[in-house]
A and B are shown apart, each in its own frame.
Chain A
Amino acid sequence: MPRTFEYRMLIVDDDAVFREIADQLFSSLGYSVRCSEDGFEALAMMKEALPDIIICDLNMPRMSGFELLSIVRRRFPQIPVVALSGDYSPDWPVGVIADAYLQKGGYNSPAALVAKIRDLLEKSPLRANIVKSSNAPVWIPLDGKPYFVLTCVNCLRSFSLPAPVFKGEKKIERNAKCEFCENDIAYVLDAGIIQQVRRAAE
């Protein structure tokens, strides 16, 4: 049977009941759900696999939702996050960096939460690589400039590097260090593809 696409969701909440119900709710809707009970555990899980969306409580022991969401926004700005809390007013709490805020107990139906998640996922870009590749994605500018853009597989941020000169090789395999997280990145440049892009740009 072919594998179907599943959005990966990370639920971060110290309330075991919340995690359990949210897990069952979203799993039944076809999401691939992982749960963690605080920010530290969530970050450890994100090292293994990045989620497509995060639902996060604000008040948690060890590392709060405020801290976690701040880190997530800096390191993984493309991941939409929903902040949830029962301790604040329906207004957006000061200091919360999130794409949406919902007050716990402020909804009678899970429909509001589900609708918000669907809305955010529709607006966010589809993740670049469903199967994790050992090689980083390479982007070649269409304006013929002598550089290319590399996206770090660890922190997912992009930076540019000077384009190498091909001396008859069909492809070049190289390593670079991420400018942001200093992760070692392996990438492959295909001479044929680069030529095609450059010709198209001309």
Chain B
Amino acid sequence: MPPSKGKGNKKLQLVGSSTDANVIRYERLRRGNFFADFRRDRRLYPEVYHCIVQRTGNAQILVWTQHTTLDSARATAEEHLQRLSSSDNSGTTLPEPKSRAAK
């Protein structure tokens, strides 16, 4: 990994640098300053599609969901990208992500 720029020794690493041969990566979706990556482990059945949404240039994972189909993962990613992008453009604070598991 090249040396990171910016504050201190913090490393900047974006999710998406998988070297595992069993990991299938799908086309990235982009909207504004945000992007969504989709991946699954080819050995798992039934399939589990992971969707990760991040801001360009930031290693923080904003959204991480798992789905049984790629279509479902893409639909969820579109919703989150739309929400994040419009919040970003309007300059408002991002709303807290809904978390069913936290209930």
Q: Give the interface of A toward B (CB within 8 A).
A: 14-18, 20-21, 24-25, 28, 86, 90, 102-113, 115-116
Contacts and interface: CB of A to CB of B under 8 A. Distances in A.
B87 to A, nearest CB: 14
Given A20-B20, A21-B15, A86 B66 contact: yes
Most chain B CB neighbours (cut-off 10 Å) among A20, A90, A105: A105
A110 B65 CA distance: 8
Q: Classify chain B: how many residues form its interface, as a range.
A: 20 to 34
B41 A17 contact: yes
27 contacts: A15-B44, A15-B48, A18-B48, A21-B61, A21-B64, A24-B13, A24-B59, A25-B61, A86-B48, A86-B66, A90-B100, A104-B48, A105-B65, A105-B66, A105-B67, A107-B65, A107-B101, A108-B63, A108-B65, A108-B97, A109-B63, A109-B99, A110-B64, A112-B101, A112-B102, A115-B102, A116-B101
Contacts of A86: 48, 66
A21 B52 contact: yes
A56 to B, nearest CB: 16
A110 B64 CA distance: 6
Contacts of A16: 18, 20, 22-23, 41, 43
Contacts of B96: 111
Contacts of B41: 14-18
Nearest to B40: A17
Nearest to A115: B102
A110 B61 contact: yes
B80 interface: yes
